[in-house]
Amino acid sequence: MEIVIDRLDGPEIAAFLQAHLDDMRAVSPPESKHALDLEGLKAPAITFWSAYDEQTLVGCGAIKEIAPDGGEIKSMRVHGAARGRGVGSAILRHLIAIARGRGYRYLTLETGSMAFFTPAHALYRKHGFIDCEPFGDYRPDPNSLFMALRIEQ
């Protein structure tokens, strides 16, 4: 698998991210949907990566710098056909390594609290994330789960 920075200008990643937004809209109330659209992911504070198995897009993830020493994981997604093959773990390990290389002391994330997100919860916990309080502009929300990882340098 190859994980590469994506400028978000191709139709394949646009469709992949639209499927992500469609899933979020289907399972999360509008006031609890925090997934960024394509234009939102192009913000200067965000670096976005796509994962390919040979020529096939199998997943993605991003880091939004929220402080000089920390970031937020955004838009983690694995294609349905690639789930259960370690793609999510590979992307998450890549993001953690990038964060460590940037000198971050922590990574945070927000994900849904509903059953649909149980595999994501397990993935993040497997890699050392623990539940935390809302951070940044987030507010307490029964539909959101907030997690953080302390990064040792």
Residues present in the chain in total: 153
Summarize pLDDT for 14-33 with one digit per residue, the tens.
Answer: 999 999 999 888 888 888 88
The rounded distance, in Å, linking the Cα atoms of 119 and 62 is: 18
pLDDT for the residue numbered 24: 87
Domain extents in the chain: 2-150
pLDDT for the residue numbered 103: 98
Instruction: Please report, for residues 75, 85, 100, the alpha-carbon distance to residue 37 in angstroms, rounded to integers and kept in the order given.
Output: 9, 26, 26
Instruction: Please report, for residues 30, 33, 56, 112, the alpha-carbon distance to residue 26 in angstroms, rounded to integers and kept in the order given.
Output: 9, 10, 25, 12
**Strands 130-131, 106-112: pairing kind:** unpaired
Tokens linked to 122: 């397990």
* Domain 2-150 = CATH 3.40.50.9100: no
Which residues in the chain come in under a pLDDT of 70? none
Strand partners of residue 149: 107
